[in-house]
Amino acid sequence: MVTVPDIIQQSAFQFPDRCAISVGDNELTFSEVDDRASRLAQIILDMGISRGERIALLAMNETEFFEVQVAAIRAGVALVPLNFRLAVPELTYIMENSEPMLLITGPGFHEIGNELGCPNRLALGNDYEQALQSVSPLDRSPIDASQICSVLYTSGTTGRPKGSLISNQALWARIVSFTLEYKPDPSDVFLQGLPLFHIAANVSFTYAYNGATNVVVRDFNPADVIQTLEDKKISDALFVPTMINLLINHPDIESVDLSTLDFVAYGASTIPPSVLTKAIEVFDADFCQLFGMTETSGCTALRPEDHDPENKPHLLASAGVVAHGFEVRVVNDKDVDVSIGEVGEVICRGPALMDGYLGAEEATASALRGGWMHTGDMGKLDEDGYLYITDRKKDMIISGGENIYPREVEDVLFTHNDVHSAAVIGIPNEKWGEQVHAIVVLQPDCSLSEMDLLVYARENLAGYKVPKSVEFVEELPTNATGKVLKKILREPYWEGHQRQVH
């Protein structure tokens, strides 16, 4: 059996009393996380949950996140971290698809947990703490590299969420790659600005493995984050471009002491070069971008030395070069490499890739054909090996760093009795990068208002997926087979933009 190291064990041995994770006023040391994770692992096994089965977590960013993931690994089960922003019907689908044997809920989500239905329940709080103290820590055993340790839900062209199966090997490969790219040090204090149900959790695990403290933002608020940067003497931080834009344009940024901040990582979506230039000036820190997706982790990196507005301004629009641990190609529809400067689909491979999609063999075979992950992103390579993302093969919208899949939104709109047909696209938005825009054809003799349709959508979708604008038209442009031509719908909004993503 091939094994991989434990995420927390070494840091707990070297730095037992150092803060491992801090969320608000709550903190846990490395030794506490280590002990609590082993106790929770024992509870999982005592519930009769077998190796290879799954558990789920529905909570905002909490100090317990580390111990829950580590416990899952030690118990040989996979964690399904649920997006707390989803509506109950969306959560229900993921629960039914992943069939977790245990659901752990955080403050504010206990009642929703009751609606989701699960054989076993734990609620973070007093009962959870008592449960931990009622058992002895699980004895350590080797960690099987091939065992699935997490199921991270994403979506595909069908619009239904798909669970990416991440093995212990893939997680370890991601930690190694992030370590080589970000170069974390035990003395670092890392600010995690993103939700931990997101792939960004892998970055937090990287800093934890390297003995650094994680300061985790529970709910992003620019003023609070700016103050945290100063108060906690943050050295390293991770944000999405929308967050960076909000921070650098907030009035408090001019008076805060950022002298300890020397490294800013970003990803999840592209960033306008003008915003990046200002951010480099405001933060006066090294910047590093990783481009990738849930299924792959960061497969290319735009490293600090390439964030040079004066001498290398053209690179600020780039996604960088191949990251450590990956191979990257740009290919045509036959998976043949295209020429330098020619646009094709970005594909990659390496040990950090997912094993596949849970219960979706056809989608897995399509995405991983030939052993390469087909990202659905269109891009081109220059003569120096730098990748430039130009468009999306898929119609996914990225708004504020969150992935939004048009089909999910369209399916909800179609359920309204007054809607005949609908197409959802992403259009430019200076604040969020893109916003969700719905183009709707009504049933004959119906007079549905934009507000009524938006209220209906909000009842059935997470807030960030609800369209920000609606356009009513007589008909949608389609091809000979009836497929809506979204490129035509997007063109008026993206005219004058160099690329159809922000």
- Where residue 470 sits, what CATH number does that domain have? 3.30.300.30
At CA 500, angle to CA 499 and CA 502, rounded to 5? 85
Q: Does residue 428 belong to any structural domain of this protein? A: yes
Average pLDDT for runs of 10 along the chain of length 502:
96 98 97 98 98 97 98 98 91 96 97 94 96 97 98 68 96 98 97 93 98 96 96 96 85 95 88 84 96 95 96 93 98 96 94 97 96 92 93 75 80 85 89 91 88 94 93 80 74 74 53
The continuous run of DSSP H or E covering 203 comes out as: helix 201-209
Q: How many separate domains does the chain show?
A: 1
pLDDT of residue 487: 81
Q: Does residue 16 belong to any structural domain of this protein? A: no
Q: Does residue 424 belong to any structural domain of this protein? A: yes
Q: Does residue 467 belong to any structural domain of this protein? A: yes
pLDDT of residue 328: 98
Q: Does residue 443 belong to any structural domain of this protein? A: yes
417: containing domain: 397-494
- Rounded to 5 degrees, φ, ψ at 79 are -90, 130
- Sort residue 185 into left (φ over 0), alpha (ψ -120 to 50) or beta: beta
**Cross-strand partners of 422:** 440
Q: Does residue 352 belong to any structural domain of this protein? A: no
pLDDT of residue 415: 83
Q: Does residue 415 belong to any structural domain of this protein? A: yes
Q: Does residue 149 belong to any structural domain of this protein? A: no
Using alpha carbons, list the distances in angstroms from residue 376 to 19, 131, 157, 331, 341. Answer: 40, 45, 9, 11, 18
Residue pointed to by tokens 């100090």: 63
pLDDT of residue 481: 40
pLDDT of residue 501: 55
pLDDT of residue 476: 87
Q: Cα–chain-centroid distance for residue 363?
A: 20
What order do you get walking across the sheet with 102-105 strand by strand?
A: 121-123, 102-105, 54-58, 78-81, 148-155, 161-167, 356-357
